């Protein structure tokens, strides 16, 4: 349970980190809550560890015309305690509160969670739900921007090239009258999800659901995006038949596929009911 030998470099600028990441065997170290675990178990044996801990510029966040621009090194705790982010995207705060335990949230970072790309992770799913843009940098290719829904390729695999680093994440403005819900079923709070669902939906003036966007956790090789509109959606609050239908083809990487599909369907129906309930409550307040 000790990591194999490696070389270590504490980067003091983003450029220095990018230069070091050109070495084929290099790995970027952010909060280390996944990478150091994998290194301790010797599932990862990088030749060079590039520590990003000194790059305070990537720990900042900005608001720009309704969108939030988040530094990749913001910790889960910083996301959770960010007042404006929580007000604009309550679903994100709710999802982050399900990540691990306090000590994990104190160290783990947004960029690290996206690069790790665990399909059971809350942040990959949250970014897909929110339609976030992932900005990545490298010396070779400069900056490119990848929509979160195209960022994840498979279990623990992303479109990142080995020399690329996630630097910033843009979370767009949420549309008007958007309700949200999040339900995760796990053996205990903070454990890996059996399955979960995050939902945003919008309604018309008459209260009918117009569009629904959902992102499923641990229900496939990557976060699974579900989009539905108008006539495909149930009228009223019985979401279960619809949820069972849209989760019937999921391919979770679990042994008991039918069980996970059933848990995913239940989570999706509950999250959709939460979301439509919230829209109703907001409207009644007005």
Partner 1 sequence: MTETAGSTQIAVTTRVNGREVSRAVPVRLSLADFVRDHLGLTGTHLGCEQGVCGACTVLVDGRSVRACLMLAAQVEGSEVTTVEGLEDDEHATRLRDALSRHHGLQCGFCTPGIVVTGCELLARCAAPPAEDEVREALSGNICRCTGYTGIVDAVLDAAGSDGHRTS
Range 76-95, binding partner 1 (CB under 8 A): 77
> Nearest approach, Cβ of 246 to partner 1 (angstroms)?
31
Tally of residues, the chain: 286
Binding mask 182-221 for partner 1 (x = CB under 8 A): ------xxx-------------------------------
> Nearest approach, Cβ of 46 to partner 1 (angstroms)?
10
Asked whether position 9 contacts partner 1 by CB under 8 A, the answer is: yes
Q: Which two tokens stand for residue 252?
A: 């979770």
Widest CA span of the chain, in angstroms? 63
Q: For tokens 């490119």, name the residue.
A: 144
Range 23-42, binding partner 1 (CB under 8 A): 23, 26, 29, 32-33, 36-37, 40-41
Q: Name residues whose C-beta falls within 8 Å of residue 16's C-beta, 6 or more positions apart in sequence.
A: 9
Considering beta carbons, is residue 3 or 86 the nearer one to partner 1?
3
User: Please, are residues 165 and 24 in contact by the beta-carbon 8 Å criterion?
Assistant: no
Residue 129 to residue 118: CA distance in whole angstroms: 15
Q: For tokens 């399909």, name the residue.
A: 119
> Nearest approach, Cβ of 186 to partner 1 (angstroms)?
11
Residue 195 to residue 183: CA distance in whole angstroms: 9
Which range of residues in 46-54, 62-70, 174-182, 271-279 is near partner 1 by CB under 8 A? 46-54
Q: Could you say which DSSP state residue 196 is in?
A: E
Of 82, 133, 75, give the one whose Cα is nearest residue 99.
75
Which range of residues in 8-16, 129-137, 149-157, 236-244 is near partner 1 by CB under 8 A? 8-16
Q: Name residues whose C-beta falls within 8 Å of residue 65's C-beta, 6 or more positions apart in sequence.
A: 173
Range 100-129, binding partner 1 (CB under 8 A): 100-104, 106-107
Considering beta carbons, is residue 26 or 114 the nearer one to partner 1?
26
Contact footprint for partner 1 (CB under 8 A): 1-10, 19-20, 22-23, 26, 29, 32-33, 36-37, 40-41, 48-51, 53, 77, 100-104, 106-107, 188-190
């Amino acid at each position: 349970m000790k990591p194999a030998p490696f070389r270590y470099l504490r980067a003091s600028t983003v450029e220095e980190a990018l230069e070091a990441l050109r070495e084929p065997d290099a790995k970027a170290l952010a909060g280390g809550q996944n990478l150091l675990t994998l290194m301790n178990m010797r599932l990862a044996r990088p030749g060079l560890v590039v520590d990003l801990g000194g790059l305070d510029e990537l720990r900042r966040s900005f608001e720009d015309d309704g969108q939030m621009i988040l530094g990749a090194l913001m910790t889960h705790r910083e996301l959770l305690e960010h007042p404006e982010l929580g007000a604009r995207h309550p679903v994100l705060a709710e999802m982050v509160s399900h990540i691990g335990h306090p000590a994990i949230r104190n160290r783990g970072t947004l960029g690290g969670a996206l690069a790790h790309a665990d399909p059971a992770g809350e942040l990959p799913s949250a970014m897909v739900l929110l339609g976030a843009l992932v900005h990545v940098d490298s010396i070779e290719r400069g900056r490119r921007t990848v929509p979160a829904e195209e960022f994840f390729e498979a279990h623990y695999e992303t479109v990142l090239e080995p020399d690329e680093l996630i630097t910033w994440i843009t979370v767009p403005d949420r549309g008007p009258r958007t309700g949200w819900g999040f339900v995760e079923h796990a053996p205990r709070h903070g454990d890996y999800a059996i399955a979960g669902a995050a939902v945003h939906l919008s309604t018309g003036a008459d209260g009918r659901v117009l569009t629904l966007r959902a992102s499923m956790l641990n229900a496939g090789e990557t976060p699974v995006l579900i989009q539905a509109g108008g006539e495909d959606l149930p009228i009223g609050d019985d979401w279960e038949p619809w949820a069972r239908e849209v989760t019937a083809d999921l391919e979770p990487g679990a042994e008991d596929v039918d069980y996970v599909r059933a848990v995913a369907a239940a989570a999706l129906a509950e999250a959709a009911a939460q979301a439509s309930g919230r829209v109703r409550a907001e409207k009644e307040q007005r």
